[in-house]
Structure 1
Amino acid sequence: MNEEKLPFSQWNPLIAEDFVKKWEGLRLKAYRCPGGVLTIGYGHTKGVKPGQSISRQEAEKLLRDDLIEHAEGLAPYVTCKLTAGQYIALLDLAFNLGVSAVAKSKTLGYLNSGKLDLAKEGFRSFAKKKIRDRNGNLVKDEHGKQMYEILPGLMNRREDEVKLM
């Protein structure tokens, strides 16, 4: 592929809008996401109140503002040039997980150093959640390591991101 590569900050965050919409879906009433966080619109979480409702126009504005904010937050950590697809995949990952989780991840380190295959595996590693028992305690294996379960919906999203890379 001979796609143009640009520094992260030279891409327009709004090129990721349709991809994020596809995976987040639109909910005009506040709800708790699988992670237990109050969410509204297209995956917006900041300042959401229980019972809150918004219009489609408000949801669109929140998404655009969130994409810009996430891109600005992630920009200092991305040192490599990216294709449009890589940019969308990385911004979607940060939108889904949070900027700090991506900024300090090995996945971004692999991408920055040009290790694309390892970066793709890193994306896939973000498709699991910690296993807890009935009392909410973290479950560990016989060696004391945290146990995880793959979330099929998240794995589908991660695979869709990897296809862009």
Structure 2
Amino acid sequence: MNHSTSNQEEKLPFSQWNPLVAENFVKEWEGLRLKAYKCSANTLTIGYGHTKNVKPGQTITKQQADKYLKDDLTEHAEALSKYVTCKLTEGQYIALLDLAFNVGVGAVAKSKTLELLNAGKIEEAKKGFLSFAKQKMKDKNGNILRDEHRRIMYEVVNGLMNRRKAEVALM
């Protein structure tokens, strides 16, 4: 039996990981936009998915985008750390932080997915990640669609599903 652990296998408490280990993964999925735009969720966004205090028509430099991302990752990690009670591998950490970066800390914090991950039910948690690939369906006027039971209707977004699958592959 081999007792040496490679960095991939090492599990650390969430707060002991450096949020910047997720930087390249997030950059790959967010892409870089130096001019403010509205994302698919209709939120003003700039840089690598930065949404805080973005103004219409705003432009930034690549250096500003890099700084925003570092600050955003650190902020998301700090906010999420109080909800993560299990130890994680680097891949699991990156996947979870990317999910929180993409859908918001609140959505992850109260999710069944995080509950499963904290309970060590990794395979079930992986399936939970895929549930975050949907968005509310809207009509051409932007009204949210509901079914005959008045429940909000959702549709899978291919780009989000691909991102969720990439996160799951890290786990």
What is the TM-score when the length of structure 1 is the normalising length?
0.96
Q: Once superposed, which parts of structure 1, at least 4 consecutive aligned residues long, lie more than 3 Å away?
A: none
The CA distance in 2 between the partners of 1:114 and 1:13, in whole Å, is 21
Alignment of 1:1-165 (within 5 A): 3-165=9-171
Cα distance, 1:115 vs structure 2: 1.1
Q: Deviations over 1:63-86 (max 9, x none)?
A: 000000000000000000000000
CA separation in 1, counterparts of 2:138 and 2:100?
25
How much does 1:33 deviate? 0.4
Displacement after TM superposition at 1:99 (Å): 0.8
Separation in 2, partners of 1:36, 1:147: 18
Task: Report how far residue 148 of structure 1 moved.
Answer: 1.1
How many residues are aligned here?
A: 164
Distance in structure 1 (CA, Å) of the matches to 2:35 and 2:88:
36
1:126 alignment partner, SS class: helix
The amino acid across from 1:42 in the alignment is Y
Q: Whole-Å Cα distance in 2 between the matches of residues 162 and 141 of structure 1? A: 30
- CA shift for structure 1 position 129: 0.7
Q: What stretches of structure 2 of length at least 5 have no aligned partner?
A: none
- Normalised to the residue count of structure 2, the TM-score between the two structures is 0.93
Report the residue type matching 2:128 in the other structure.
G
Structure 2 counterpart of 1:119, which letter?
Answer: A
CA RMSD of aligned residues (A): 1.0
